[in-house]
Structure 1
Amino acid sequence: KMTTTLAKNNLGFSQNEAPDNEAKRNIEGHLEIHWVVGQEAIAKLREYEASILAQRLEHAHHELGISYSDMAILARSYGGLAIIETALNNLGLPNVLLQGRGYYDRIEIRDIYNALKLGIDASGASLAAWLRSPFADGLALVDVNKILMADKPITALEGYPEVFARLQLIQQAVKGQPIDALKFLIREKFIAGKRYIDFLDKKERENIDALLFTVVMQPPGEIEYLLDRLEHLSLQTDAGDVPQSGQGIQLLTVHRSKGLEWPLVAVFDLGRGPYHPPANIYIDADSGHFALKDSPSFEKLKQNQKDKANEEDYRLLYVAASRAKDTLLLTGSIKNHKTASWTKALDLMDSGANRHISKPNLIIKAHQYRAFKAISKHKRPEQSLEAAAWIDKTFKRPKYPAVISPSYLKKQAYVHEPLNLPDQSQGELIPGKATTIGTLTHDAISQNWQANNKQHLENLRAQELTFLITVSEQDDILDEVKAMLSNYEDMLGKAIPALKDRSEDY
């Protein structure tokens, strides 16, 4: 009903774009919509709304038998989550605030971005990232390093015909429509008979599906615009998928819920509308045209940006509602009967604050705001503490504290402080050499690589931090790493078994 209503009113979807919704199981779900209405400040309405939602979740746990860890609360922003977190804590309901890496900055999304960019310009950082991705499956780290260190990396890549052929296919794909290029990268079996998604786990595949869905909703005209959009979104820390962790009701933003599902999902603060921050310049993502403030087209582009943001906001409502497997709870606050955005959508569905339904699996109810005092059920009782026996004791201060620095002692003895030590990298012929040696040695020890094993040393040479160092400088660094590994092995002797053979750390 939601997708049909949104599409019918061109709110986020057109009739052709609306996603199909078919029942996956022959089980009737449970839906509750709770509205808080009043003339008080919106902050007070939201606090009351949060208390009602917390009570309904407590009811779902005790009466419906739903585990708290099978529940999630979604909100537009972390500000909204802070309100509901307080209400949950007041009732003593376990909860965990989920945070994680930005969705558009996840490795699988960056793989797609780098592959698209490589199709336009086969050089630079995108080439290095692409060579280490599943698209270049079959290349060893030594091969990657050899290609990147060559004067002409693409020419060197031709020495690996199977991988080079994949690059040519990508270059051909990006000449067409961006959406077709995206589908090619994701779904075509051009990686040794496999698709890119065959290298991913379930969560990563869901993220790729979400990316494809997002692009289809707003198909760019040219591949450059798609790359710009992905780059822009990667900088938004509040757009992402989050690994599930912790015990209790999980709290996260709607953006971060993409690709995730729970038996019970509650969407909090439906009454909050999208925020449109003011700007001094607006850019049309489709044409590339821009308008400065006070220019003739400024207001038009400003309204276009606002309309697009509103469309995205309605799609976000669909994302939020579709995270629930069995039970969906929606709550919102309405001040002075003013509706906007998500509350408007539910009004169009005849599920607004003026509707009242009370059935076993469907509840729509409006709650008139009333003043309340949130009292925690689990507040620790105040207790008077007895003073410790030594509370009035005094201690004579010695001449010097128990722990003192040699420098301080010298100052006390009127000895001039020596000159400050130079920076550890000062005077190095190779900047960062000491740090590089230490890092590579540590990596070698953690991998149980041996000083006398040439392949192990070549593995170290292929590490990312050596990419910008010349071959002769690499040789110099590896000689020192080899010497340190030899000393380390001599120090350990033969009595301690190898790392892989140990049942515990020594």
Structure 2
Amino acid sequence: MQQDPDLIVRSADELVGDLNPPQAEAVQYRGPALLIGAGAGSGKTRVLTRRIAYILSQGGAWPSQILAITFTNKAAAEMRERLSALIGPVAQRMWVSTFHSACVRILRRDGKAIGLDSGFSIYDTADCERLVKLIAADLNIDVKRYTPRAILSRISDYKNNLEDWRTKLREQAPDYRPGQRGYRIGNPGNAEALYAIVYAEYQHRLAAANAVDFDDLIGRTVELLRADPNVAAYYRHKFRFILVDEYQDTNHAQYVLVRELAGVDSPDGQQAWITVVGDSDQSIYAFRGADIRNIQDFEQDFPNAKTIMLEQNYRSTQTILDAANAVIANNEGRKPKKLWTALGKGAPITGYAADNAQQEAAWIAGEIARLHAEEGTAYSDMAIMYRANAQSRSLEEALINAGLPYQLVGGTRFYERREIKDAIAYLQAIVNSADDVNMRRILNVPKRGLGARAEAIVAGYAEANAIPFYGAIERLDQIGDVPTRTANQLRGFRDLMAGLRAFAADPANKPSDIVAEVLSKSGLLDEMKRSEDPQDASRVENLSQLQSVAAEFEQNTPDATLAGFLETTALVADSDQLPSEGEDSGKVTLMTLHTAKGLEYPVVFLTGMEQGTFPHSRAMEDASELAEERRLAYVGITRAKRRLYVTRAAVRAQWGQANEMMPSQFLDEIPDGLIDWKRREAGVERMRAGWQGGFGDDDDEFGGWGDDDFGGGTTFGGSAYGSSSSYGSGSRSSFGGSSYGSGSSYGSGSRSSYGSSYGSGSGSPGSSRRFGSGSSSRSYGSGSGGGSRSYGSRYGSSSGYGSGSSSRSGKVTTRRVTPKSSGSSTGGQASGAVKDNGLNVADFAVGDRITHDTYGLGKVVETQDKGRNSVITVDFGSAGVKRLMLRLAPIEKL
């Protein structure tokens, strides 16, 4: 067979000579199914690209016979670039793409077999929500009770599991027919029936609009391959080698797609060679439908499969890897794997315990400034990672106050901005006039006197005649009782769209020309230029950027079309916003841990390392969710190349309340010798320990504590408490005239003063001062008498601060910050108040029976001695397996 002239043929030595033995074995393996268990930083992209080059150079395959699938456009572009360097320009013609891009190509070519015209639209999240709102209005669904986002989440679950709408409708609401008018859901409380009906109607309207959503790209491709044997045979004959990156992130639909393309279950027995690369320890997308069993069960799913583990890490220091290995080792049922490196031990991990989120953020900002000034670390080499988007607020404030440049990844994406969505909607409507969602979006954008009434008239005619919304506008003269002014405006809109469609149909006009024409003729640009709103100036810049993006697409794409440009905009992911490797953005990067997957930075700050924050509160009583959180911690740790920081806050504001947070169990799982604690305990924790143990000599206010105990080296009553002079993050919170913590209020950022006395008095508030913006007033001092004392002299009674009268926040992980009172103050405490129940883990053994206030009878299946934070795992039968923090759990041993 004659080789492709654009292919550079490489010798085996060229391809494997510089690889380690497991990498070389993986590149050269010959067999129908191979799993490469690639640990973090083990060079999986290098192995994958070398394997493709080996198959072409040494296996005699044609480039057209290879399908390489990744999860992001960025990963696909990197792989294509590496392949180009290895095998030449032929790489640009190969199928190296994301799952969704590959499916778009298949559906554009062959989708007619399942009723999809090649010019179909791809709806993004905003389009989908708009469609669900239209359906909800027609079916009289309460969108406050059943939000469009919740409905779409359920529909996405159905699609990821390949559950057909016809089956769901037959099971839940057999009397409903998609497209029928005047239907009212009989029992709106029957959520499953409601979801099934909306799912059916949603798919019906997508089909009518010749549109698909993101999940459909996978599901409808599977449908196509199963429905049309000729199409299936074509792709099975075409793709003889299928390679899938990040296999641990595949959902059920993607798993089935790979099997269908490979012909695993085809009767002719002709199966493609499958290579999957992944790491079960980095499976962190269960919330998106990813199924870890796909990679765990690979050897059972694909007969005669071979597994090769890559354990040598080329990214991180051994200290960082030791921490990651120690944490992930606590997950059960995983393939044994221990990362190691030849890069040396490296610096210890740096730990810091802050009093609150503001002080945590301010300390991080100070450390970033120090690293940049003293060690010359580029801002772009540093990243701050957190479990939830909400944590970014205090971090952003601290960076702004410190004058440090940063970029936030995962915020409002460029293509989700209103003005960009409007422009894209025009382009979608030009390409696909049956696209009702986008056509209705632009009907009155910019405002042209076509409001809700005009839209309702057109929509009613379209529905009555089973035609698209724009089809009704084209038949405007046949619609009765249209006010003259409305009719004139509709004719104007019809003429506008006809002119734009004609302009776009001219082959001489490129996508950037069409974008310019739309912005000009629609009036979008003029409206914003005339506006006096300063925000509209930046929106004009965004529209200009859209035209630039279209021009760039033309330069990089031979025979660029408008439909092709729209396809690229529809398939952009959050991670595609990030600078390329080696590109200096000049900014610190802030992102969630889920977004950070696949990235690496010389310096990483892992923040919010507290029970209830990370691991997330949802995971505290669910073993499988906790295992996923631990994998997320493993991902976070292994993003760091040289320096890793772990930080936590003793108090964090949640839902308007200041909650006391316990250290994350993941910190316990990292060997203590690996962490250099700059501050092991927060000031409030030391204060509480002092109250519980007594303050010692009357002449020593702090019971012998040194200046460093509050992180700033100063005292109460006239001088700084905490470290405001070091961190200076903004508004100050004053304790008796002194600054406390990071200079920002406890929990919420509002200014509050702690200068007045906090006394006693049978549990009634000693002062009206508040912690944070929403927590109730709390008394400090003893509960049943004793003199009222002020911060600035003495503390009142040593009975202290901490747990007695706090109310539970619903999980075992956090406590509201309230004082502990003695005596009569406990009489009115809320039921379920959190307090140390005095139980000792040594008194519990596997097999012991217990009773829980909520879950009932259970059997102990595991105990973990972590000192004060000991945990027991209990099987409660029908209530499931729960992990309980022993000292807080409302349990009794039987």
Confirm or deny a common fold (TM above 0.5): no
> What TM-score does the superposition give when structure 1 sets the normalisation length?
0.35
The structure with higher relative contact order (CA 8 Å, sep 6+) is 1
